[in-house]
Amino acid sequence: MPVSRMTKDEIKDAIVSKLQRQFGCDVSDATDDQLYQALAMTVRDEVMERRALSRGERKRQQAKKLYYLSAEFLVGRAMHNNMVSLVNEKEYMQALDELGIDKTRIFEREPEPGLGNGGLGRLAACFLDSLSALKLPAMGCTIRYELGLFRQHISDGFQVELPDNWLERGNIWEICRLDQAVEVRFNGYVREYSEDGRMKYQLCDYNAVQAVPYDMPVLGYDSNMVNMLRTWSARAINPLNMQEFNRGQYVEASEDKELVETISKVLYPEDNHEKGKELRLKQQYFLSSASVQFAVRDFEKTYGPRWDMLPDKVMFQVNDTHPGLAIPELMRVLIDEKGLGWDEAEAITRRCFAYTNHTVMQEALERWPERMVSMLIPRIYMILQEMNRRLCADLWNHFPGDWNRIAQMAILAYNQVHMANLCVSTCCMVNGVSQIHAEILRKQTFRDYCQLNPSRFIGITNGITHRRWLMQGNPGLTALLDETIGEGWHKEPMQLEKLMPFADDAAFVERFDKVKRANKERLCARMERMQGVKMDPDTIFDVQAKRLHEYKRQLMNILSVLVLYNRIVDDPNYTVHPRTFIFGAKASPGYYRAKLIIKLINTVSKLVAAHPRASQMIRIVFLENYCVSAAEVLMPAADVSEQLSTAGKEASGTGNMKFMMNGAVTIGTMDGANVEIYNEVGPDNIYIFGLSADEVEASYSTYHSSRIYETYPEIRRALNQLIDGTLEPGNPHMFQELYHALLFGDNGGMADPYFVLKDMPSYLKTQGILGEDYSKRHGLWLRKAVINTAKSGIFSSDRTITEYNDKIWHLKPLVLD
């Protein structure tokens, strides 16, 4: 049965009637929360109608299904996005206007699920959007963290972390599927016995945890296709110990429950830094086991025990190594529960899994102590031992006698479980997330494995959903584009190229400029409302927004601003085009140096603001609690996109793409997807500076940051200001740690390992050129901005997902409507 879209009047009626029936009120006396709920329920009805349709069709068409396993899904708010996908956003907006409802205020009532840290989690969310848009059957699987990533507050310039209790007011977008709960088993011991001449393995004395799924619908753009994001919640099987309770031991009676439910309590805030915490391992197995058990059960319901067909119907994409335990878990289910032999189970498993690597930072590569794994998941540990035994025997044939190399490649070595080796040794495909990243995986990180089988190692450049990041976030530009090049780009983002000729069309450029201006004003309003900070939309909005990490070099940015400040202070005739440097960044709570860099940004901000002339030309603003909904307002308002990672370190970056699509011009290194942005827009429409990845590699042994300090007086001066009391007169030692790390190194490590000082002269020079160009806004700058939007289509996640599907998944689009 075809589904229809609601008209404006139907929407109005629905809202009014929901208010009446759910809350017993009307528009005039409803609270903002009630208005949000009524509106969300209306949208949800439309979405769920489509859910019913696409679910039935997937079953009928016996379509292959992808399980995208990820410890993080940073989905952002759902309501507005669903309106866009329903393609009656305009009707919704008009209905709200006619009812006299303030849209921004109501939209902001929706809690944002903060189920991710940064790029990896947001990528997963963009992928689900594109999978649905392309009608490819898929399910995202993650954990229903009760507390998402902490909320960031800045107090006296320091980051303060507050809990993010996003479920407090309920979540209208999820459906609890108790009927599909599965049991996940921890601890215990493995009893081995033989039956009918075969070895059998049984886990005894284990602790069982119930995994309860909650599903959130992800509607495809104009597609009637709904895929689900499944979030697993941990529940105790026995919520109350009745013996204890009857003895009056009330607290003890629910201790078990507390312990079990901590599994899905909180998202670890470490991004790119592995700490080997037992609870994190528990989370990883919990997610992996629940998802694999469900997938196998779902398969069996349709196809019966035809396990040879599993790879034709089910595919698992492992988003970094975090859900990598799904691999031995599938082995366990096939062998222990379905009675397959090892070889058969292994052949099937190998075909069902593919792995994406998202970082080459050594400290991010996950390794678990073997002891921890063997205690927590003993049967999985046995399987890992056997996988490792076979792997090493095989490697011995390829590299006889080369024990060192084999140890580097092994799943188990030096008393650790090496998760990347587990994934690389078993998955049918291994991909990097940009071309340069894939090359580094092939040449360095996984060199030995690549030698054995190069065709498995591919690069699929990341992408972002242009629906959320352009159509939803930037309605002004969307309307202008629709009018100028038609609406074809909504479904075929490469059509944005049609904009190219308009880069030289003065009338168009004028309107493009007006849109940017309006977006800058919208950001100003948000900053004033949320932080009480006033910003000037006539200045350049120069933005660096991403997790705080040394390799991303926010430190280089702020030190360069300090240099600029010094120039203004020293020379009364020195002028630059007025600029607002905007930072948005959360630091991992245990990452001391990252937090100190946040403090430094805020301290320099105060210093600049206190100087009469400098404050006329520069302004530093720290946007608190950078998150998806903040990004939606920030990206469209940016003039300059700062992408400063040390070359070779940023796997791809995706913020760079969001900025570009919204007409910001990049200043960046030849790293990650910046390289590909450069290839698309050409050298005139991007500002590249600094060492290349190869140069960085070659410089490690010879680089001495002290030479830069000696050679460049401006840089020396800025560094000295870190320790001479200029910044924090009351506590001149505050930033000594940063000074030391840049000039001397710490714990025996090299000084300035991310080449901050090395790249600074080149960065400063390039920033100078950029500022000059911006002053010619009409003749020069806006042309670059338009070209950036025009060339951004290739960075749509629709292109990325199409590549994954062609090269790895081989799913067939559902036939709907």
Active-site annotation holds for 539: no
Query: Least CB distance from residue 649 to ligand 26W, whole Å?
Result: 8
Contact segment (CB under 6 A) with ligand 26W among 99-107, 140-148, 370-378, 645-653 equals: 645-653
Query: Least CB distance from residue 619 to ligand 26W, whole Å?
Result: 28
Q: Which two tokens stand for residue 429?
A: 């495909």
> If binding is defined by CB under 6 A, does position 665 make contact with ligand 26W?
no
Catalytic site residue from 358, 437, 553, 758: 358
> If binding is defined by CB under 6 A, does position 320 make contact with ligand 26W?
yes
Catalytic site residue from 442, 526, 553, 658: 658
> If binding is defined by CB under 6 A, does position 539 make contact with ligand 26W?
no
Active-site annotation holds for 358: yes
- Here's the x/- map for ligand 26W, 506-525, by CB under 6 A: it reads as --------------------
Active-site annotation holds for 733: no
Four-residue CA torsion sign, 174, 175, 180, 184 = positive
Query: Least CB distance from residue 551 to ligand 26W, whole Å?
Result: 9
Measured CA distances, 112 to 130, 305, 637 (Å) = 20, 41, 21
Four-residue CA torsion sign, 512, 517, 523, 525 = negative
- On whether the CB atoms of residues 319 and 359 are closer than 8 A, the answer is no
Q: Which two tokens stand for residue 353?
A: 């899994």
Binding ligand 26W (rule: CB under 6 A), the pick from 119, 148, 217, 793 is: 119
511/501 Cα distance (integer angstroms) = 15
> If binding is defined by CB under 6 A, does position 114 make contact with ligand 26W?
no
Contact segment (CB under 6 A) with ligand 26W among 29-37, 119-127, 295-303, 390-398 equals: 119-127
Of the CA atoms within 13 Å of residue 310, those in its CB half-sphere come to 27
> If binding is defined by CB under 6 A, does position 653 make contact with ligand 26W?
yes
Binding ligand 26W (rule: CB under 6 A), the pick from 174, 346, 542, 650 is: 650
- On whether the CB atoms of residues 465 and 128 are closer than 8 A, the answer is no
> If binding is defined by CB under 6 A, does position 283 make contact with ligand 26W?
no
- On whether the CB atoms of residues 723 and 769 are closer than 8 A, the answer is no
> If binding is defined by CB under 6 A, does position 271 make contact with ligand 26W?
yes
Contact segment (CB under 6 A) with ligand 26W among 117-125, 212-220, 480-488, 594-602 equals: 117-125
Q: Which own/partner pairs from 767-775 qualify as long-range (CB within 8 Å, at least 24 positions apart)?
A: 767/560, 767/667, 767/687, 769/687, 770/640, 770/665, 770/667, 770/687, 771/540, 771/576, 771/577, 771/579, 772/577, 774/540, 774/577, 774/639, 774/640, 775/577
- Alpha carbon dihedral 643, 474, 633, 114, in 10-degree steps, equals -90
> If binding is defined by CB under 6 A, does position 607 make contact with ligand 26W?
no
- On whether the CB atoms of residues 472 and 81 are closer than 8 A, the answer is yes
Query: Least CB distance from residue 461 to ligand 26W, whole Å?
Result: 10
- Here's the x/- map for ligand 26W, 360-379, by CB under 6 A: it reads as ----x---------------
Contact segment (CB under 6 A) with ligand 26W among 54-62, 103-111, 170-178, 269-277 equals: 269-277
Query: Least CB distance from residue 636 to ligand 26W, whole Å?
Result: 20
Closest CA to 620 of 636, 606, 638, 599: 606
Active-site annotation holds for 802: no
> If binding is defined by CB under 6 A, does position 359 make contact with ligand 26W?
yes
267/143 Cα distance (integer angstroms) = 9
658/187 Cα distance (integer angstroms) = 44
Q: Which of residues 547-576 bind ligand 26W (CB under 6 A)?
A: none
Catalytic site residue from 349, 478, 539, 654: 654
Q: Which own/partner pairs from 79-84 qualify as long-range (CB within 8 Å, at least 24 positions apart)?
A: 79/36, 79/39, 79/40, 79/43, 79/107, 79/110, 80/107, 80/472, 81/129, 81/467, 81/468, 81/472, 82/43, 82/44, 82/46, 82/47, 82/219, 83/43, 84/221, 84/467, 84/468, 84/471, 84/472
Active-site annotation holds for 552: yes
> If binding is defined by CB under 6 A, does position 420 make contact with ligand 26W?
no
Which residues fall within 8 angstroms of residue 640, CB to CB, at 6 or more apart? 540, 541, 542, 543, 664, 665, 666, 667, 770, 774
Nearer to ligand 26W, 270 or 370 (CB): 270
Binding ligand 26W (rule: CB under 6 A), the pick from 54, 272, 431, 474 is: 272
| Beta bridge pairs of residue 368 | 417
367/413 Cα distance (integer angstroms) = 10
- Here's the x/- map for ligand 26W, 424-443, by CB under 6 A: it reads as ---------x----------
- Here's the x/- map for ligand 26W, 197-226, by CB under 6 A: it reads as ------------------------------
767/588 Cα distance (integer angstroms) = 29
> If binding is defined by CB under 6 A, does position 671 make contact with ligand 26W?
no
Catalytic site residue from 18, 44, 546, 549: 546
> If binding is defined by CB under 6 A, does position 668 make contact with ligand 26W?
no
> If binding is defined by CB under 6 A, does position 654 make contact with ligand 26W?
yes
Query: Least CB distance from residue 652 to ligand 26W, whole Å?
Result: 4
489/493 Cα distance (integer angstroms) = 4
What residues are annotated to the active site? 358, 546-547, 552, 654, 658
Footprint on this chain of ligand 26W (rule: CB under 6 A)? 118-120, 123, 270-274, 320, 358-359, 364, 433, 462, 650-654, 672
